[in-house]
Chains A and B, each alone.
Chain A
Amino acid sequence: MVDEPRDIDVLIEEVITLPSLPRTVAHISQLVTDPNCSLATIAKAISADPAIAMKTLRLVNAAFYGLRQKVSTVEHAVVLLGLKVIKNLVFTATVFETLKGGVDSLLRHSVSCGVAMRVVADHCENGGSESAEEAFIYGLLHDVGMIIFEQFLPEEFAAVNATCREQRAPRYEAERAIIGCDHAMIGARLAQKWRLPETIVNAIGGHHDLEQCQTDDVRRTSAMLSVADYICTACGWPSFPDAVVKVSGDVWAASGLTSVQLPPMLDAYFNERQTIDELVQLAR
């Protein structure tokens, strides 16, 4: 039975248990910020979790990261890439573990959006303040809230799917009407629980509602996320079949992208098709 829509705080208090960040990632995030911590210590911390270590190594060697030499140990990866990139890599490996618990279309959409976000950030006027890895993580995480809904509110999740199919409604509108909040809002709460930077929390929270964004920088990042989301859907990689995605005039203005810039940007994205396939395989 589908309950009445509820406030997000009530849902998190009474129904939804947001998953904690896995200990390995939390530990590594802490180590990376310690100026006295050695690279060897960080490599050891990663290696202590074989599943994450293996996924991290596979990611390092993916074409996405553009390394010319094969990396076969975590220590080598840490030395080659540096702390910030390694932290993002380990985090990406962890998010992959979370995403593979949902449906395959969502995994592919999230990975595609991560790659799209990186391309969009490269092509936006004024450049993006995000690094390539950060832009990828924004895209990867933006719809993680859907997995939370599927796990904790299965009947409402099914009702949202039906409403979207029958009424051709954008998913966030159906979620707000049926559940009381949308996947972007829940995703932001999860990012907050994982102690991710505020920019990521706010960008995820605002990717269907720019009013949630408190600074111009976050507005721009959220707008870029919306555009990346739209591109993935137009390419045939929606979060779920027949998804309807809309981008308002405000979002285009905030993104800084113009029609003239889009064809070469889209070509750059199409050229990443094999990278997307490779990353989806890594994530499974």
Chain B
Amino acid sequence: MGAVPFTNGQEGSVVLVGPRENPKGATVVFRGGEDKLESVPFLEALELLHPEAVIDAVCMQERVFGNRGLESPFEPRSQW
């Protein structure tokens, strides 16, 4: 999903790999102690994320991996 600012002033990424039903379908990745790369399951990291970032990630996850009929972000869209 690209760089995402955290509520604690740090920065990280949200990585989407599977549907919402899979607890490992989304992960939050960031630099932890000693500059080591760390990851936390998305639903356990919600308080680190601003509300807009949560909406962006959950909606994108559903659009890419879900089966409830949301339009894929990869489909072309007509212009006005």
Residues of chain A at the chain B interface (Cβ within 8 Å): 103, 105, 161, 227, 230-231, 234-237, 240-242, 247, 252, 257-260, 262-263, 266-267, 270-271, 273-274, 277
Contact = CB atoms under 8 A, between A and B. Distances in A.
Question: Which 7 pairs from chain A and chain B are nearest by CB?
Answer: A234-B59, A236-B71, A273-B69, A259-B46, A262-B54, A270-B68, A259-B54
B71 A262 contact: no
A234 B56 contact: yes
Contact of B55 (A236, A258, A262, A271): A262
A97 to B, nearest CB: 21
A236 B70 contact: yes
B8 interface: no
A interface SS class: helix
Contacts of B16: none
B79 interface: yes
Given A247-B52, A262-B54, A266-B59, 16 more contacts: A227-B51, A231-B59, A236-B59, A236-B63, A236-B73, A241-B77, A241-B80, A257-B51, A259-B46, A259-B49, A259-B53, A262-B51, A263-B46, A266-B55, A270-B62, A274-B69
Contacts of A230: 52, 55
Contact of B43 (A247, A258, A263): A263
B36 to A, nearest CB: 25
7 contacts: A234-B59, A235-B59, A235-B63, A258-B51, A259-B46, A262-B51, A274-B69
